[in-house]
Amino acid sequence: MPSTVIMERVGWTRGKTVFCDRVQQLRPLFRRPDPAQRTEYLPGEVGAV
């Protein structure tokens, strides 16, 4: 969702640059995990019989 849409929904009345900078700092905290990186294996765990 673009920062401008979030700004309208929250009712932000101050500067756009300040808000966009804050959203940019918060976005990584709410990012969905990458499906390719969900599984974790210890070294030798997959090949062990």
One-letter amino acid identity for 2? P
Summarize pLDDT for 36-47 with one digit per residue, the tens: 777 778 888 777
**47 within a domain of the structure (yes/no):** no
Q: Tell me whether residue 25 is in a domain.
A: yes
- If one counts the domains in the chain, the total is 1
Cβ 7 vs Cβ 19: under 8 Å: yes
Residue 21 located in a structural domain: yes
Q: Is residue 48 part of a domain?
A: no
Indicate whether 11 belongs to any domain: yes
Distance CA 20, CA 25 (A): 9
Tell me the residue range of the domain where 15 lies. Answer: 3-31
CB 27 within 8 A of CB 3: no
Residue 39 lies in a domain: no
Contact (Cβ atoms closer than 8 angstroms) between residue 16 and residue 4: yes
* Predicted confidence (pLDDT) per residue in 1-49, tens digit: 999 999 999 999 999 999 999 999 999 999 887 777 777 788 887 776 5
Residues 36, 34: Cα–Cα separation, whole Å: 5
